[in-house]
Structure 1
Amino acid sequence: MPTSRIWGRSLVGFVAVGALMGSACSPAQSAKSTSADTSAKSIATTLQQTMDGLKFQEVLDTAPVTTSAQARTLKANSVDKDAQTPKQRARLLAAAADAQPISQQPQIDATVIELDKHNRPVSSGTVLMSPQYPHGKVVSVDKNFHTSDVRWRQWDDSGWYTNHAQGTIDIVPGRENASTDFMLPYPASVLKLMINFGVLRLVDKGVIKLDDTYSYQPTATSSLCGGATSNTIRQYVDDSLTWSSNPASCALLKMLWDHNAVDDLNQTFQDLGLETMQVKGTNPANGGHWSNPVTMSSLDTAKLLTLINGAPGKVWTAPNGKAVTRDVLSKSSREFFKKELGDQGFNDVLSTTDWCGADYPAPGIPQVTPQRWIAADGTVTVDGDAYAHDVRPCNAKAEVTFAHKTGLVSNSGGDAGIVRNLPGKNGRNYIVAIFSNLGNQYVDPNRPPTAPGAHPVAYTEKYAQLGLAIDKYEAAKHGR
């Protein structure tokens, strides 16, 4: 590897981790601040400095929008975006050689929630980055880890290019006077967290059982969802969460529609104070039509994962004054949900262990790769995608488990999950969630060509560098 490339990556990593470590030693807040406020400011500042230091704006765009015709095409293709075909992915890879600098600061929404040894949230930090906030803006939250100071806007594919990333459709009403105006990136397959949460709510109510067989009979065709299938609900959930099956997820969402449970799911999110989480605009006929009205913020996603993780007692108070507890799901459903997330096959965003030992992408969160995906030669293959790297050396050095869900389309990339130290490692325990418009349409200038037959690196390695920096900070903090 050329010396310049080694130095470049080391410098970025040094800036990111150095920013985090420096903030850990910042002066104490005013005595008038609550302890939660003090720690929230600390983690938020470190997150903001790290994101700014990583210079996400240095990525290249393989399909920039430069004409009104291209903008119209992009808008027309804003439905069922997870149904990207191999040919479409191949075109993006082929276009990488002629990629242009990104036209403006990327849209990034990131949250870290720190947990105590009982899994209760003790501090949080949320940072928004966009053309309006090129160095990242810290979001103020109250003691319930809630904010009323952001005007959340719905994602607009063409509007990101043509309207300076300024959204026009409000997600949460009554925020016209908020100090921050931010267009939430489309969550891509991370939205499957919401679908499966809704399914497990039906299980807890006794409406369905995990081992029931569901016959998926769509009455409208969809490239996203495919044709009729029949499987146990347990297997559909496993396929949806561990290798991100779109047909399985469509089946689960159609089942929610069959039981008139979608509106109830959206209301449950509102009752929990997770105001940006909405499953809207989908098609009852097939469970498809995933588009921009499906929304999630990183803060609300991290809070949902906090409940799934099992924080005891009152975790926060919702805006309607009601106490929110982990009992929104039963213990058995929470444990099943966490197990499925812990069996994630696509460890290639905030963590990159599927490419263990590669020169590119950079290493991310040092997690254990689940054994179910590892072949006799140590390589990982998920849904036919072969990563072609022996992951056993990384498993031997792993420091944490990472129960998470990734998402990817051309203009959306995300990862959200629960990080917990392995026995004998520094005792970090936290939730991390990130959404961005940096999907597989965007590449790093130093990304090498993909070897024949190998799974391509579909994200900027800056995600992994961010994940590693956060984890190093948490490890150092708990090692003191």
Structure 2
Amino acid sequence: MYASAGLVLSGSLLACSAETPAGKVSAVQAAPKLPKGKVSPVAKNLRATLDKLRLQEVLDTAPPGSAQARSLGNPVDKEAQTTTDRARLLAAAPAAKPIVQQPQVDATVLELDRRGRPVSSGTVLMSPAYKNGVAIPVDRNFTAKDVRWRQWDDKGWYANKGQGTIDVVPGREKATVDHMLNYPASVLKLMVNFGVLRLADQGKVKLDETFDYKPDPVSPLCGGATAKTVRQYIDESLTWSSNGASCALVKLLHERGGIDPLNQTFQDFGLQTLQLKGTNPANGGRWSNSITMSSLDTAKLLALVNGAPGKVWTAPNGKPVTSKVLSPASRKLFMSKLGQQGYNDMLSTTNWCGGTYPAPGIPQVTPSRWIGKDGTVTVNASKFGRDVRPCNKKAEVRFSHKTGWVNNTASDAGIVRALPGKGGRTYIVVVFSNLGTQYVDANRPSTPPGIYPFSYTEKFAKLGRAIDTYEKKRRR
């Protein structure tokens, strides 16, 4: 989440009993059950890649029992943030401790053919129960039926060892794998903008109408009243992740009767984990754990936004799901804004071009919109301070994506398309994890005053680069 300077604190690290660091073995444990069905080579490669990254080696700036952990609240708006919050975690970084249990990860790679149709996929879940990751089988409609999806629980992350208690999809009690979905952070704005563009296609919203956003009450997440065109709110929501613009769009959805139909549309399409629930109609805020997204369903949503001819998959009711869920004009606008993403610093790290840290990620073109005369990137007053032009010269792909973070969420979801003559791969990649801004690498340097601080462990960049290298080889 990047609407203003500062880190988000969601209260995931309340005080609890100490545990053995994730990198150490405390006792012999029974092997976890594996889900039923075959998995693709994509899934096998993704699982092996995640396992090799050793995500359990990150450090925690607010370990259980620490003053930092005790200071974390549990706000209604998970992405409300202050500069004091950010300063607290930055100051704690030198005293960070090993993470106490295996991180939570939900990752999907969805391969597309030249016409944009999904042809193969790989989904991997990692958790305290599956410390080396588990590849999830999917059916011909790219649905993972042997997973019991649970809502994220901040307190339960430690108290229940990553085990959720609230079911997201009904009827999965007998599933082999039980997984607590990560809070999606600002990737939830994909659902918001999809819903608004659906209303535009139905004639219930005009993109160039001015929407008077008058929140009552004003929330720390959303800010005060604004009056902008719907098109401008969409731009700000997707390209630099404005919370204020996104709250305005959520309020617009409520006012035009769009929330319940949107959630029902996701269910009808078979995207059962996509749920934009619990938001406040009065201000568009109250973003909390009742908002859910799995990496697989998010990837499928992006496949529809990207566009493909004919049936993309079959819905649970037997009807074909097609890219006609959005008009060509709405898909073009959506893709254009994703392609202008300003924050390229998780799976891709081109905003940090040329340094020794973080590691290079997906080799994307950095959008020119954010590049100054000196070649450095500035996004809504966030200065990255490195010349990205050398990386643009070496770029191999365009990455149309949306990032997000809170202290216990890191997320990135987007469409990768090779530049001419650079390998021909087209795929969608989505990663959700609890390793948000609270977690740091042991070798992470500090940033100079006035430069945007590092938001993620560089292990995500290494994951992005490994996935892209694999996909490039598969398309030869």
Q: Which amino acid aligns with 1:361?
A: P
Report the RMSD for the aligned CA atoms in angstroms: 1.4
Partner of 2:325: 328
SS at match of 2:311: coil
Structure 1 residues 464-479: aligned runs within 5 Å: 464-479=461-476
Partner of 2:47: 48
Kindly indicate whether the alpha-carbon contact (under 8 Å) linking 2:62 and 2:69 is maintained by their aligned counterparts in 1. no
Partner of 1:89: 86
Give yes or no for the alignment of 1:227 onto 2:224.
yes
The counterpart of 1:167, out of the listed 164, 167, 171, is: 164
SS at match of 2:270: coil
Kindly indicate whether the alpha-carbon contact (under 8 Å) linking 1:78 and 1:157 is maintained by their aligned counterparts in 2. no
Cα 1:357–1:67, aligned 2, differ >3 Å: closer, same or farther?
A: closer
For structure 2, which runs of at least 5 residues remain unmatched after alignment?
A: 1-36
Cα 1:175–1:54, aligned 2, differ >3 Å: closer, same or farther?
A: same
For structure 1, which runs of at least 5 residues remain unmatched after alignment?
A: 1-36
SS at match of 2:273: coil
Cα distance in structure 1, aligned partners of 2:66 and 2:163: 18
Partner of 2:383: 386
Kindly indicate whether the alpha-carbon contact (under 8 Å) linking 1:344 and 1:405 is maintained by their aligned counterparts in 2. yes
Partner of 1:58: 57
Kindly indicate whether the alpha-carbon contact (under 8 Å) linking 2:348 and 2:464 is maintained by their aligned counterparts in 1. yes
Give yes or no for the alignment of 1:357 onto 2:335.
no
Structure 1 residues 180-191: aligned runs within 5 Å: 180-191=177-188
Q: Which amino acid aligns with 1:161?
A: Y
The counterpart of 1:262, out of the listed 242, 259, 262, is: 259
Q: What percent of counterpart residues are identical?
A: 66
Q: Which amino acid aligns with 1:239?
A: E
Structure having the higher helix fraction is 1
Give yes or no for the alignment of 1:133 onto 2:98.
no
Partner of 1:27: none
Cα distance in structure 2, aligned partners of 1:445 and 1:68: 20
Q: CA deviation at 1:67?
A: 7.8
Q: CA deviation at 1:327?
A: 0.4
Structure 1 residues 24-35: aligned runs within 5 Å: none
SS at match of 1:354: helix
Give yes or no for the alignment of 1:118 onto 2:147.
no
Cα distance in structure 2, aligned partners of 1:272 and 1:66: 44
Give yes or no for the alignment of 1:371 onto 2:374.
no
Cα distance in structure 2, aligned partners of 1:444 and 1:78: 27
Cα distance in structure 2, aligned partners of 1:354 and 1:44: 29
Q: CA deviation at 1:65?
A: 2.5
Q: Which amino acid aligns with 1:377?
A: D
Q: Which amino acid aligns with 2:209?
A: D
| Bigger shift: residues 406-415 or 318-327 | 318-327
Kindly indicate whether the alpha-carbon contact (under 8 Å) linking 1:78 and 1:292 is maintained by their aligned counterparts in 2. no
Cα distance in structure 2, aligned partners of 1:68 and 1:352: 32
User: What TM-score do you get using the length of structure 2 for normalisation?
Assistant: 0.91
Cα distance in structure 1, aligned partners of 2:64 and 2:459: 23
Cα distance in structure 2, aligned partners of 1:193 and 1:320: 24
Cα 1:370–1:68, aligned 2, differ >3 Å: closer, same or farther?
A: closer
The counterpart of 1:409, out of the listed 406, 411, 432, is: 406
Q: CA deviation at 1:66?
A: 2.7
Q: CA deviation at 1:134?
A: 0.3
SS at match of 1:315: strand
Cα distance in structure 1, aligned partners of 2:348 and 2:69: 33
Q: Which amino acid aligns with 1:246?
A: N
Q: CA deviation at 1:79?
A: 2.4
Partner of 1:11: none
Partner of 1:14: none
The C-alpha deviation readout for 1:156-208, integer Å capped at 9, x for no partner, is 11110111111000000110000000000000000000000000000000111
Q: Which amino acid aligns with 2:366?
A: T
Cα distance in structure 2, aligned partners of 1:273 and 1:383: 36
Q: CA deviation at 1:448?
A: 1.0
Alignment: residue pair count = 440
SS at match of 1:238: helix
Q: CA deviation at 1:68?
A: 12
Q: CA deviation at 1:429?
A: 0.4
Partner of 2:213: 216
Q: CA deviation at 1:424?
A: 1.2
Kindly indicate whether the alpha-carbon contact (under 8 Å) linking 1:154 and 1:292 is maintained by their aligned counterparts in 2. yes
Cα distance in structure 2, aligned partners of 1:444 and 1:164: 22
